Amino acid sequence: MAELTSLYTRISIDQNSLKYFLAGSIPPVSHYDDWIPWLEGQHYYGNLSAEEVLDIDYPDLTVGQYLERWLEDSSFPGNGRIGYNKEGSEWELSLLQFSENYSDYVAMLNVLRSIDRYLGSEDEGFIMIYDFFFGDKESNTVIEIKNSESIILPEVPERYLQVTHESLQGRITLTE
């Protein structure tokens, strides 16, 4: 069985901008130039060439349609959650069981980080791939979004790790 990582996103954004983001097109992976340096620092099995990374495609999907495909994945019922807190103007998305595949990572991170095009100067947040269930800290990745830019950070700040862990932990239901 594969060791699936989790995905968590929390971003401050006004509701109108969020609607435009979800209805918007997905930029090509080449829009961001930090994928290859990031991949070179990761530990994964198999090969994922620069050409394969840049060939990741989203045939005529909006951001919202792409995210819905992941949220509605019948392999893991109840896996995904998406919500908007009007009081805090925060958008949150989580997938308890996301993927182990780096091409999925690049594809999803590219979609999510493209929210940077819709943010105001005060908006900020982060996207994190987190090994919630197995605790392998080497596979954790975070993209910080602020000042209308998204940057893959070299290390995961403790504050993002804590927020992500608490949010995902809150989704776990124990049964007797």
For 20-44, write each residue's pLDDT tens digit: 999 999 999 999 999 989 988 887 6
Query: Residue 153 has what pLDDT?
Result: 95
3-class DSSP state for residue 65?
A: helix
For 111-123, write each residue's pLDDT tens digit: 999 999 999 989 9
Classify residue 158: in a domain, yes or no. yes
pLDDT value at 174 more than 60: no
For a pLDDT cut of 90, what percent of the chain falls above it?
Answer: 54
C-alpha gyration radius of the chain: 15
Classify residue 61: in a domain, yes or no. yes
C-alpha–C-alpha distance, residues 52 and 8, integer Å = 25
Query: Per-residue pLDDT averaged across 49-54, rounded?
Result: 86
Classify residue 124: in a domain, yes or no. yes
For a pLDDT cut of 70, what percent of the chain falls above it?
Answer: 90
Domain containing residue 104: 6-169
Classify residue 32: in a domain, yes or no. yes
Contact (CB, 8 A) for 100 and 4? yes
Query: Count of domains in the chain?
Result: 1
Classify residue 107: in a domain, yes or no. yes
pLDDT value at 49 more than 90: no
3-class DSSP state for residue 80?
A: strand
Q: What is the pLDDT confidence band of residue 94, given thresholds at 50, 70 and 90? A: very high
Query: Per-residue pLDDT averaged across 64-88, rounded?
Result: 85
Contacting residues for 122 by C-beta, under 8 A, at least 6 apart: 12
Classify residue 33: in a domain, yes or no. yes
Classify residue 175: in a domain, yes or no. no
Classify residue 174: in a domain, yes or no. no
